[in-house]
């Protein structure tokens, strides 16, 4: 499986930080090193536990079906799919200075530590 150090996720300017969880998503990386997308920025992916052979086979079958059999799966631990509506909500939260995704336990913990250290200025 591919290494994803310094890989950017989609069109975002967010860099992935491996959280070490056993759950997440596999995405398909084409042989040329680019993510396999549908042309609208949606990356071919499948939610999975790390190392789930049946999910890896499903992802490879889909990539093959759509014409990219020579790529490889890349696992992103702790990531999950979001709908367009959830994405817009997360962008709005981020613009308001809030944690975009409250399911990001690392970010929630970091915010709690910041409040303990510096207090609430609100």
Give the distance from CA 75 to its chain's centroid.
9
Alpha carbon distance 62, 68 (integer Å): 9
Note whether 44 and 28 are within 8 A (CB).
yes
Alpha carbon distance 36, 93 (integer Å): 28
> At residue 6, does pLDDT exceed 70?
no
Q: Where are the domains of the chain?
A: 1-81, 84-122
The pLDDT tens digits for 98-108 are 888 777 777 77
- Mean pLDDT of the region 44-64: 96
Statement: the pTM of the whole predicted model exceeds 0.75: no
Would you give the DSSP letter of residue 26? E
- Predicted local distance difference test score (pLDDT) of residue 9: 54
Kindly state the tokens that stand for 46.
């499948």
Burial of 96 (0-12, 13-18, 19+ CB in 10 A): exposed
């Amino acid at each position: 499986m591919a290494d994803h150090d310094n890989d950017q996720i989609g069109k975002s300017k967010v860099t992935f930080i491996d959280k070490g969880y056993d759950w997440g998503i596999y995405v398909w990386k084409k042989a040329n090193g680019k993510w396999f997308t549908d042309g609208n920025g949606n990356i071919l992916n499948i939610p999975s536990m790390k190392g789930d052979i049946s999910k890896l086979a499903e992802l490879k079958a889909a990539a093959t079906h759509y014409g990219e059999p020579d790529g490889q799966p890349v696992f992103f631990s702790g990531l999950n799919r979001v709908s367009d509506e959830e994405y817009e909500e997360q962008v709005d939260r981020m613009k308001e200075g809030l944690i975009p995704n409250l399911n990001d336990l690392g970010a929630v913990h970091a915010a709690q530590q910041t409040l303990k250290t510096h207090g609430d200025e609100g």
